[in-house]
Amino acid sequence: MLFLLPPSETKLDGGSGASGLDLPSWAFPELAAVRGDVISRLLTMSADAEGSMRALKIGPRLASEVERNRALATSPSMRALERYTGVLYDPIRAGELDEASWRWASRHVLIHSALFGPLRATDLIPAYRLSHDSRLPGASLRSTWSGPVAESLASVDAFVVDLRSEGYVGLGPVVGARSTYLRVVADDGGRRRALNHFNKKSKGLLIAALLRDQPELRGLDDLVAWGADRGVRLEPGRETQLVSESLLSTSA
């Protein structure tokens, strides 16, 4: 089973190694040419600081993000699950994971970057700034990524649980019967409502729990059964509902 996460706007600095752009070593090496094209276009855009800030939808306070992008080819690298921070990633506490958890993450966790496409949790990447709705010279990110990523995801021999936001789904939908889209909901007296504030946190807590347990999951029934054992309510279907309150209560 693969869990497909969105990235985060915020990222840690630092890392080790001279370069994080070892494209053939990353998940889905068939995407290397597309990755190279998007990276090249970002580097071209980064020569114009003001234009880059407009395209990235950031203000002068975040001008250092343009410098991050300019330095992509020589920046130190870090495992992707460690690189991303924020509401979804903070509960995972990647810096505290043991080696068994990292092995499980490498096999089962993907992160969909707007710059690099889908990555393994352990793929080594530099810090950067690019979102699904950023504007690069030439074609849109959606038209660049959607077809190739969808084709790559369709080729995996595993059930895919899609935890991405709709914007990232647009960069490469998961097509096929062996997948489900995970939506976080609240149970409001028998009525279900989608969540905003706790949506990302609940997804992060779910991944954190999976990394602790490292279960063997072949399909959606296995995931639902694992959740039931932990008191986490997962209601399966083509679109699976994760009832937020159950997961938040088990994390206390």
Q: What is the CA radius of gyration of the chain?
A: 18
Q: Name, in order, each residue with C-beta under 8 angstroms of 222's C-beta and a sequence gap of 6 or more.
A: 1, 215, 216
d(CA 70, CA 47): 8
Choose between 73 and 93: higher pLDDT: 93
pLDDT at 67 over 80: yes
Average pLDDT of the residues in 152-173: 96
| 207-227 mean pLDDT | 96
End-to-end CA distance of the chain: 27
CA pair distance 186, 127, nearest whole angstrom: 34
Task: Give the pLDDT band of residue 251 (cuts 50, 70, 90).
Answer: low
Q: What is the pLDDT of residue 173?
A: 96
Count of alpha carbons within 13 Å of 251, Cβ hemisphere only?
Answer: 18
Exposed e or buried b for every residue in 200-236, given b needs 16+ CB within 10 A? bbbbbbbbbbbbeeebebeebeebbebbeebebbbee
| pLDDT over 80 at 70, yes or no | yes
Task: Quote the pLDDT of residue 228.
Answer: 94
Q: Per residue in 180-198, pLDDT tens?
A: 999 998 876 666 666 666 8
Confidence tier at 214 by pLDDT (50, 70, 90): very high
Q: Model's pTM, two decimal places?
A: 0.94
Q: What is residue 187's predicted lDDT score, i.e. its pLDDT?
A: 76
Average pLDDT over residues 202-230: 96
Q: Give the pLDDT mean for 169-178.
A: 92
Distance of CA 67 to the CA centre of its chain: 23
pLDDT band of 136, cuts 50, 70, 90 = very high
At residue 12, the pLDDT reads 94
- 178's tokens: 């062996």
Structural domains counted in the chain: 1
Cα dihedral sign, 140-144-147-149: negative
For 27-51, the pLDDT digits (tens) are 999 999 999 999 999 999 999 999 9
Domain with 6 in it: 2-250
